[in-house]
């Protein structure tokens, strides 16, 4: 029978939310165990585009209110962590781009008046031209306007690796999770039969959280899934581009990020409106044809003849939203020792950790003397989608 473990905080789900929280808690002297049933970061996190939003995207449709500052502060907090002098030491994590760009093809700039007037972007957006343009847009046929946003793009696989290193001996590969009850009160979890007692239990299992709540006999907080159908392109002619391409609506027509493939090529990862409702309804071949047509119109100078294509279906997992909910904060709900939430964005992992830590402080939870952990089976690292789909 495996040994019983006592820890301060038991976390389930090792995506960016669980890993970031785990590293913050360990840095504050708490003992932790972080359970993962598949691979580290392999849920939504490693399938994300890695943009550390500061809220500019929401300002396009006016959803970012002056009262919600959490997301506006994320680029600074990530920048400090990446420089090794922030709330976590993420030095060594690869930064893919110092900036994300807003690219308005043709003459759409007129639609941006309210965007430039909004608090989220005021003083933080500069127009760029000539050799300051992203490499993929440096062509004499390029006619649009490009603005540099103070938002970063991180290489998520290297982020996950660093956060896994910061987790030390606390990672646990575990499949079956059952409640550990004492007099009807949840005091921990049984993971593959091993009892883990904890002062607090955090569920940060992304799309898996609904099922976990079900297993614990709970129905709240309710979760929603938002399906996406992303496009992946790899080829020797693709140059770095990190940009929201505007289409006149309230959402970017396409959001392009560029990622290094193991074979030395760049991968373009395409999201935005193209990957949402109509894109979700398209079959993969149709979705690829749509992307080829869009890129052919927007960037006719880029030779796509050697490019390999794939698509990836993935759901965003979020708290069930009402028309009034704000997209720019992490979400955390509490029931006794159990804390349950979703960061709602990779960029908001620090905000998710803040909320858990604030709940611990409010309840005067202190690190308790802990026995060293036994050797635990470790979950594997995740593999980026393009290495699986376009090896």
Phi, psi dihedral angles at 196 (to 5 degrees): -125, 110
User: Which residue, 48, 56, 15, 53, is CA-closest to 34?
Assistant: 15
Residues 256-275: x/- map of binding to ligand FAD (CB under 6 A)? Answer: ---------------x----
How far is residue 279's CA from residue 277's CA, in Å, rounded to a whole number?
5
Which CB sits closer to ligand FAD, 109 or 381? Answer: 381
- Total residues contacting ligand FAD (rule CB under 6 A)? 39
Q: How far is the CB of 111 from ligand FAD (least distance, A)?
A: 23
**107 CB-near residues (< 8 Å, 6+ apart):** none
Per CB under 6 A, which region of 143-151, 319-327, 343-351, 368-376 contacts ligand FAD? 343-351
Cβ contact 375:2 at 8 Å: no
| Residue 112: other Cβ atoms inside 10 A | 18
Q: How far is the CB of 110 from ligand FAD (least distance, A)?
A: 27
Asked whether the beta carbons of 319 and 221 are under 8 A apart, the reply is: yes
Q: Estimate to the nearest angstrom the gap between the alpha carbon of 91 and the chain centroid.
A: 19
Complex with ligand FAD: residue 260 or 367, whichever CB lies closer: 260
d(CA 369, CA 31): 9
CB 83 within 8 Å of CB 76: no
Assign residue 257 a region (left: φ > 0; alpha: ψ between -120 and 50; beta: otherwise): beta
Would you call the peptide bond into 221 cis, given omega within 30 degrees of 0 as the criterion? yes
Nearest approach, Cβ of residue 239 and ligand FAD (Å): 20
* Site mask for ligand FAD (CB under 6 A), range 204-243, x = bound: xxxxx---x---------------x-x-------------
Q: Does 64 bind ligand FAD (CB under 6 A)?
A: no
Contact between 345 and ligand FAD by CB under 6 A: the answer reads yes
Q: Which stretch binds ligand FAD (CB under 6 A): 35-43, 133-141, 277-285, 302-310?
A: 35-43
Say whether residue 13 binds ligand FAD (CB under 6 A): yes
Q: Please name the residues in contact with 300: beta carbons below 8 A apart, sequence gap of 6 or more.
A: 141
The CB density around residue 131, as the number of other CB atoms within 10 Å, is 7
Q: What is the separation of C-alpha 380 from the centre of its chain, rounded to a whole number of angstroms?
A: 19
Identify any residues that bridge with 148 across adjacent strands, giving them in sequence order: 101, 126
Selected binder of ligand FAD within 26, 53, 77, 355 (CB under 6 A): 53
For ligand FAD, which is the closer residue by CB, 146 or 340? 340
- Contacts of residue 95, defined as CB under 8 A and 6 or more positions apart, other chains included, come to 82, 152, 153, 154, 155
The region of 11-19, 60-68, 108-116, 135-143 touching ligand FAD under the rule CB under 6 A is 11-19
Stretch that binds ligand FAD, among 43-51, 233-241, 276-284, 301-309 (CB under 6 A): 43-51
Q: Stretches 103-111, 192-200, 201-209, 366-374: which one binds ligand FAD (CB under 6 A)?
A: 201-209
Judged by CB under 6 A, which stretch of 78-86, 282-290, 292-300, 341-349 contacts ligand FAD? 341-349
- Least Å from the CB of residue 254 to ligand FAD: 13
Q: Which residues are near ligand FAD by CB under 6 A?
A: 12-18, 35-38, 42-45, 47-51, 53, 177, 204-208, 212, 228, 230, 271, 314, 316, 342-347
């Amino acid at each position: 029978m495996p040994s019983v473990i006592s820890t301060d905080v038991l976390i389930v789900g090792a995506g960016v939310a669980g890993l970031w929280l785990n590293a913050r808690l360990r840095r504050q002297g708490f003992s932790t165990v972080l359970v993962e049933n598949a691979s580290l970061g392999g849920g939504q996190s490693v399938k994300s585009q890695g943009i550390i939003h500061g809220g500019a995207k929401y300002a396009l449709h006016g959803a970012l209110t002056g009262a919600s500052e959490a997301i506006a502060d994320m680029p600074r907090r990530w920048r400090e962590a990446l420089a090794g002098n922030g709330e976590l030491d993420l030095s060594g994590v690869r930064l893919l781009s110092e900036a994300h760009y807003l690219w308005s093809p043709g003459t759409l700039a007129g639609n941006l008046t309210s965007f430039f007037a909004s608090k989220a972007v005021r003083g933080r957006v500069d127009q760029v031209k000539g050799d300051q343009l992203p490499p993929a847009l440096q062509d004499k046929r390029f006619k649009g306007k490009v603005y540099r946003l103070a938002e970063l793009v991180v290489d998520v696989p290297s982020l996950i690796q660093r956060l896994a290193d910061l987790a030390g001996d606390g990672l646990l590969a575990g499949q079956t999770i059952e409640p550990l009850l004492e007099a009807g009160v949840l005091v921990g979890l049984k993971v593959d039969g091993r009892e883990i007692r904890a002062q607090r239990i955090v569920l940060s299992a992304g799309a898996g959280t609904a099922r976990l709540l079900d297993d614990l006999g709970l129905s709240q907080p309710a979760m929603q899934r938002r399906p996406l159908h992303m496009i992946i392109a790899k080829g020797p002619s693709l140059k770095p581009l990190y940009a929201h391409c505007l289409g006149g609506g309230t959402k970017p027509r396409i959001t392009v990020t560029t990622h290094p493939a193991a074979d030395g090529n760049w991968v373009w990862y395409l999201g935005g409106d193209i990957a949402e409702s109509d894109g979700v309804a398209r079959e993969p071949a149709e979705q690829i044809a749509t992307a080829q047509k869009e890129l052919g119109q927007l960037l006719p100078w880029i030779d796509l003849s050697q490019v390999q294509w794939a698509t990836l279906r993935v759901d965003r997992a979020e708290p069930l939203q009402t028309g009034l909910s704000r997209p720019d904060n992490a979400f955390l709900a509490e029931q006794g020792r159990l804390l349950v939430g979703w960061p709602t964005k990779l960029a908001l992992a620090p905000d998710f950790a803040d909320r858990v830590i604030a709940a611990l402080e409010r309840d005067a939870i202190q690190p308790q003397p802990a026995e060293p952990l036994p050797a635990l089976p470790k979950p594997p690292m995740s593999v980026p989608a393009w290495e699986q789909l376009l090896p």
